[in-house]
Amino acid sequence: MKLELTHFSAAVLFGVFASIVFGITQRNNFQEQVRYGLYCFAMFVGGVFVAGWVMSLLRR
Amino acid sequence: MVETRMVETKNDKQSAAVQTPPLTTMAIVAPLVAWLIPGAGHLIQKRYVRGFLLMFAVVTMFFLGLAMQGRVYRPNGGDILDILGFVGDVGAGGLYFLTRFFDWGQGAISQATADYGTKYLIVAGLLNFICVADAYHIAIGKKP
């Protein structure tokens, strides 16, 4: 089986899995875990967009 | 002066003894099981939701890495990045031994995103190390 993801989808999926683990392991109660997981995911996706724009600007 | 120092040392030893977590069977077994089977360290401590979510995240990430033609590092003593790659991969425990047994992760790279696969495999192992530490903290009562 060969899986071909785009750079964006690979980065977003990476963020999903990492956020799940960070959320569960770095906080103690359920609400904090959900909140921290969502925060990490937002940071991952935000970082992807920022990096994308930076690379786009450097390319010009 | 000397007496004060002796008292301080004694107090330090006492406080260290108080702070040392109890070494229970679970404190040894849970991290070991968590390393071999991602998420299982939480499951044997009856943290079912957390355990299954961690298992889902680590196992899915590992197999997605394999599906993306990621490279599985073997034990090596060469380049430092190869050594670190092996350390990351071996964090996945049983999944790593499974890939070695079936000789997966050795395919010829034929697509641009294969390098993502390699990173997925390494990060899955590193995330599992965090899960192992978390299972240990639950076992010693540091975390609910």
Average pLDDT for chain B: 88
pLDDT in tens, A2-49: 888 899 999 999 999 999 999 999 999 999 999 999 999 999 999 999
pLDDT in tens, B37-60: 999 999 999 999 999 999 999 999
In this prediction, residues B3-15 reach a mean pLDDT of: 57
Q: Buried b vs exposed e over A6-41: b needs ≥16 C-beta within 10 Å? A: eeeebbebbbbbbbbbbbbbebeeeeebeebbeebb
Model's pTM, two decimal places?
0.87
Show residues of chain B in contact with A24, CB under 8 Å.
Answer: 50, 53-54, 134
Show residues of chain B in contact with A20, CB under 8 Å.
Answer: 53-54, 56-57
pLDDT in tens, B58-85: 999 999 999 998 999 999 888 999 999 9
- Higher-pLDDT residue of B86 and B22 is B86
Q: Pick A25's closest partner by Cβ from B123, B124, B131.
A: B131
CA distance B119 to B143: 30
For residue B90, what pLDDT band results from cuts at 50, 70 and 90? very high
ipTM surpasses 0.85: yes
